[in-house]
């Protein structure tokens, strides 16, 4: 005589086994990923790179752009923590890729890092030296090729204005009385007053 309870046990076990296999396959084939300790900074910035989802106990090369900056070995779970690299002194402002690649099969991951050489205040810093230690684009040979990117005539109210400070793609100028500020997009456009 047929007993439905006896037949449901193997089916339940097979269903459980199938779901377990799917979960294990999904875990084993997870794509590698990396995280950066910071997303932006000037040339020479120290960046700590951590990774997950790589093969266990393999060598992983870490690149800034195309330059191989570090070699790490993953742990038994396919991860690594806080591998230190530096943004090269020669890295120009803009987006660069940090890439981690396994040596045995080139499986890898990448994240963007944004290099900036902003002037956070007039004269670069509190001592007003006028020297940006991170500048790596302008020199005595390239300075002649500079052109005016934008200009604006400041009118009205008898205000006198300070020198310009540039940060995060915006140029700022304040009145000498520090009661009025204008913000200009560095790539051109109209100024917008801010208080």
**pLDDT value at residue 56:** 95
Taking a C-beta distance cutoff of 8 angstroms, is the pair 96, 112 a contact?
A: yes
Q: Does domain 33-115 sit in CATH 3.90.70.10?
A: no
pLDDT of residue 183: 81
Look at residue 155 in the predicted model and tell me its pLDDT.
57
What does the domain layout of the chain look like in residue ranges? 33-115, 118-195
Residue ranges of the chain whose pLDDT lies below 70: 1-29, 149-162, 176-179, 187-195
pLDDT of residue 180: 73
How far apart CA 32 and CA 172 sit, in angstroms, is 42
- Please report the pLDDT score of residue 190 as a whole number: 45
Pairing assessment for the beta strands 170-174 and 181-185 based on DSSP bridges: antiparallel
Closest CA to 167 of 92, 75, 93, 81: 93
How far is Cα 195 from Cα 193, in angstroms, rounded to an integer?
A: 7
Q: What is the pLDDT of residue 143?
A: 81
Contact between 143 and 182 (Cβ < 8 Å)? no
Say what the pTM is: 0.65
Q: Per the structure block, which two tokens stand in for 123?
A: 């004269």
d(CA 115, CA 39): 9
Q: Quote the pLDDT of residue 13.
A: 63
Query: Rounded distance, CA 35 to CA 65, Å?
Result: 16
Sheet strands side by side (includes 59-64): 40-41, 108-115, 94-102, 59-64, 67-73
Could you tell me the end-to-end alpha-carbon distance of the chain, in angstroms, rounded to an integer?
A: 89
**What would you report as the CA-atom Rg of the chain, rounded to the nearest whole angstrom?**
28
Distance CA(170)–CA(192), nearest Å, equals: 11
């Amino acid at each position: 005589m047929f007993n439905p309870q006896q037949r449901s046990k193997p089916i339940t076990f097979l269903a459980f086994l199938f779901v377990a296999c799917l979960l294990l396959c999904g875990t084993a084939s997870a794509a590698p990923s990396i995280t950066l300790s910071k997303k932006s900074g000037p040339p020479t910035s120290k960046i700590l790179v951590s990774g997950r989802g790589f093969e266990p106990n393999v060598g992983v090369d870490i690149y800034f752009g195309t330059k191989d900056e570090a070699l790490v070995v993953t742990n038994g779970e396919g991860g690594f923590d806080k591998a230190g690299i530096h943004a090269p002194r020669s890295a120009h402002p803009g987006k660069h890729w940090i890439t981690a690649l396994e040596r045995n099969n080139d499986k890898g991951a990448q994240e963007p890092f944004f290099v900036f050489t902003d002037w956070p205040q007039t004269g670069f810093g509190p001592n007003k030296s006028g020297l940006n230690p991170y500048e790596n684009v302008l020199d005595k040979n390239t300075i002649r090729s500079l052109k005016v990117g934008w200009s604006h005539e400041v009118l009205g109210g008898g205000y006198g204005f300070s020198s310009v400070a540039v940060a995060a793609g915006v140029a700022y100028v304040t009145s000498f009385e520090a009661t009025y500020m204008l913000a200009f997009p560095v790539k051109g456009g109209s100024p917008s007053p801010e208080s």
